[in-house]
Amino acid sequence: MVYYILVPIGVGLLAVLFAAFLINDVLRRDTGTPSMQKIANAIFSGATAFLNRQYRTIALLAVGAAVLVAAALALLGQGTLAARFNLAWHTALAFLVGALCSGISGYTGMYVAVKSNSRTASAARRSLGEALVVALRGGAVSGFLVVALSILGVSLLFTIFGGLSSPATTPSLIVGFGFGASFVALFAQLGGGIYTKAADMGADLVGKVEANIPEDDPRNPAVVADLVGDNVGDCAGRGADLFESTAAENIGTMILGATLYQATGNIGWMLFPLVLGAFGLIASAIGVLSVRASAVIEPEKAAGRDPGQIAMQRLNIGYYITCALSLIGMFLGCYLLLGQSSVSANYGLPAWLWFALAGTVGIALSIAFVFITQYYTSGTWRPVREIAAATLTGPATTIISGITVGFECIVPPVLAISAALGLSYFFGSQVQIPLPSLGSINVSGIFGTAVATVGMLMSCAYILTMDTFGPITDNAGGISEMSGQAESVRAITDALDSVGNTTKALTKGYGLGSAALAAFLLFSAYLDVLYSFRHDATVYRVDLANLSTFIAGLLGLSLIFFFSSLAIRAVGEAAGRMIEEVRRQFRENPRIMAENPEERVDPDYARCVDISTSGALRAMVLPGTIAVLTPIAVGVILGPQAAAGLLMVATMGGIVVALFLNNGGGAWDNAKKYIEAGYLRVNVKGEIVPPDDPEGIVLGKKSEPHKASVIGDTVGDPFKDTAGPSLHVLIKLLSTITLVLAPLFYFLHV
């Protein structure tokens, strides 16, 4: 059974080689016209310059955090000096490895994504199918590196730290890996999100609303900063986010598995998340390769079908293939790893089958989140069309409509998460594992929720591929616009850009769903660690009637809102500086907007890039620092049970607020896209008619409803691309911090 550790290591290495194959496949393709290459090079220079400065700042913060954590555990931890020192240096090393792997995965994925944008734009000159494949494979580099490095990092640390000889104690030594990943992810997501939305809001409000010029018009000084922001926010930031999800899920499941290993002697409980993650990589690779240019119907042969729907259908088919193969891998993995345990189960079914059913719940939840997010963020359905209709009466009603959609959209995902947790716990609890009584807590039921989390994250590589697909196609559209490509080319890049908006929204929903399951898993692992110190079942009961626990829970909920406030405020301040700069350039250099193209001069793009860069790097530190210090302060001052209360309430509050921010912002964005695509039509009386009514009057770009939709979109921008995604990371960061520092909290309040 111990040889199963070779599976995640071997598959992880193969996934890195697969990413190298994709890099070679994308980079050898045509880079387009000289004008395309010029714009792409400017985007590349801006993105790499920002990430170099950002990761230098994060590296300094990470090294300082590693030293402080190691010192706290060594000086104030529990046990002998040798035991404290052993835990301290293992945790610090794992922290730095997690931080490094997170940075590498985000940086490399962004690098290839930026290199893919001009190649996608060039491919659009030939066919929709080729452009779709180039963008998807460029995005897949990030997806596979993120998951592969996460699995490799945990597997190798587990092996090097003695996991094969001392399985029960090793997971506590590698929890720092998850903390390091969370630490980098928070700052990467914050910095990238602030950067991209400051540029986007500045470009949209002054360019579209005030100057009446198209999106990605080369006359807009903020347009290059906007295109750069798509990469540093969505590629590097989201890559770090899901790297953290997979790392935290693997470690949390292994900690729970250690308890079951001690009861059964089967190390398969601990290796389970790593092996199933490897199955997921294989399934995702097959899903990506199933999307072929030859299978895509070209617009001229589609009998009037929207090319965006054609592209989305092909991506969905690849996703369904991934999920189907993941389901097969789930049953096979449960049989191989858990089928050898001599434990009984209810209703005459084998134990491994109950856990396979729990894993199926997780896979089903991922599909449910895809459909729920599509419903609330796609122009095909009521919510987006409702916001688009509200634009007829101005910006105020547009904003009100978006807020109502945001409040409404939290209900279906919460119901789905609740059902998934309840079902997976029920399936897991049907297994009878000989363990000491823990009151109402059923450990095999908790492990069932962990298996569901594993199942949901099996498709992580494919989901992240679709996410990075978004900024690649967005950049391709900008490059096509700025380089003056034909309308037919722009039609293809616009269609792919619209699909990219949907896939980015899907990934946010998926990321939050996985964060919710992973947070519950890590919360359970934290209580397991406390139980290992006290061997008292009362640690599993977090009593909100206790004053210190109630205070901690209230602080946790307040942290969610205060953190969101800081993130959105940072975007607003940086966007304000961007707007003033764009206005200044238009005012002081009228030749930028000269009617005769031969008389025009290029705006100062570099100045806008610098404003976004400095604003993001300066503003990301405060909210990130508060997020890190709050759970530490609660655990040190109020104790480990109070820290558990903070985790519980902050997780619930974070899930609800992030759903509101993500889906509300995504609905505003796609309402704007819906109008820009010409689907908002009215009759002569001003009444809305169906989008396909040939006699309807199109209210598209430059119309008053379009301007109202742009304002709604700019309100939603920091919601969906800064505060919302950062909350995903915050939820898991709170769990990993308390998990790492649980020995310290216990020692101070023993």
Secondary structure of 422-491 in the HEC alphabet? HHHHHHHHCEECCCCCCCCCCHHHHHHHHHHHHHHHCCHHHHHHHHHHHHHHHHHHHHHHHCCCCHHHHH
Q: Which residues contact 388 (CB under 8 A, 6 or more apart)?
A: 379, 671, 674, 675, 679, 680, 705, 709
The label of the residue with tokens 């359905």 reads 381
- Contact between 155 and 251 under an 8 Å Cβ cutoff? The reply is no
Is 440's pLDDT higher than 70?
Answer: no
Is residue 15's pLDDT more than 90? yes
How distant, in Å, are the alpha carbons of 252, 394, 701, 716 from that of 379?
Answer: 38, 19, 16, 16
- State the pLDDT confidence band at 277, using cuts at 50, 70 and 90: very high
Query: Which residues lie across from 698 on neighbouring strands?
Result: 681
Q: Which residue has the tokens 């000086």?
A: 75
pLDDT for 291 equals 93
Given this model, what pLDDT does residue 702 score? 84
Residue 114 confidence (pLDDT): 87
- Segment 512-535 mean pLDDT: 85
The string of pLDDT tens digits covering residues 301-328 is 877 677 888 888 899 999 999 999 999 9
Name beta bridge partners: 37: none
Output DSSP code: residue 723: I
The encoded tokens of residue 545 equal: 């009637």
Q: How many Cα atoms sit within 13 Å of 311 on the Cβ side? A: 32
pTM: 0.90
Nearest to 659 by CA among 464, 510, 553: 510
719-729 average pLDDT score = 89
Select the more confidently predicted residue: 284 or 296. Answer: 284
Q: What is the pLDDT of residues 555-574, one digit of tens each?
A: 999 999 999 999 999 999 98
Q: Domain range for residue 676?
A: 5-748
Flag whether pLDDT at 341 surpasses 70: no
Direct distance between the N- and C-terminal alpha carbons of the chain, in angstroms, rounded to an integer: 38
Task: Give whichever of 96-110, 241-255, 538-552 has the largest mean pLDDT.
Answer: 538-552
What is the phi-psi region of residue 256: left when phi exceeds 0, alpha when psi lies from -120 to 50, beta otherwise? alpha
Does the pLDDT of residue 54 top 70, yes or no? Answer: yes
Residue 439 to residue 644: CA distance in whole angstroms: 18
Read off the pLDDT of each residue in 131-159 and give the average, rounded to a whole number: 93
Average pLDDT over residues 364-381: 87
Angle at 157 between CA 745 and CA 96, to 5 degrees: 60
Q: Where does the pLDDT of residue 504 fall: very low under 50, low under 70, confident under 90, or very high at 90 and above?
A: confident
424 confidence band (pLDDT: 50, 70, 90): very high
DSSP for 96-138, please give it: HHHHHHHHHHHHHHHHHHHHHHHHHHHHHTT-HHHHHHHHHHH
Consecutive H or E run containing 344:
strand 344-345
Alpha-carbon span 115 to 136, nearest angstrom:
13
Q: Could you report the per-residue pLDDT of 215-267, keeping only the tens digit for each? A: 778 888 888 888 888 777 777 677 777 788 788 889 989 988 998 998 888 99
The answer to whether residues 128 and 298 touch, using CB atoms and an 8 Å cutoff, is: yes
Number of structural domains the chain divides into: 1
Q: What is the DSSP string of 196-242?
A: HHHHHHHIIIIIIIIS---TT-TT-TTHHHHHHHIIIIIIIIHHHHH
669: nearest Cα among 621, 606, 714: 714
Question: What is the rounded average pLDDT of the residues 284-289?
Answer: 96
DSSP secondary structure letter of residue 540: G
Mean pLDDT on 631-659: 95
Residue 92: C-alpha distances to residues 65, 73, 74, 419 (Å): 9, 10, 11, 37
Residue 202: the pLDDT is 83
In this prediction, residue 1 carries a pLDDT of: 67
CB-based contact 511:532 (threshold 8 Å) = no
Q: What phi-psi label fits residue 265: left (phi over 0), alpha (psi between -120 and 50 degrees) or beta?
A: left
If you average pLDDT over residues 541-551, what whole number do you get?
A: 93
485 vs 21: CA distance, rounded Å: 30
Angle 217-221-224 (CA atoms, 0-180°, nearest 5)?
Answer: 75
CA 410/CA 422 separation, integer angstroms: 18
In the chain, % of residues over pLDDT 70: 99
What would the mean pLDDT of 344-350 be, rounded to a whole number? 92
| pLDDT digits 0-9 by tens, 147-163 | 999 999 999 999 999 99
* pLDDT (mean) for 144-148: 92
3-class DSSP state of 689: strand
Quote the percentage of the chain above a pLDDT of 90: 51
Average pLDDT, the chain: 89
pLDDT given for residue 437 in this prediction:
60
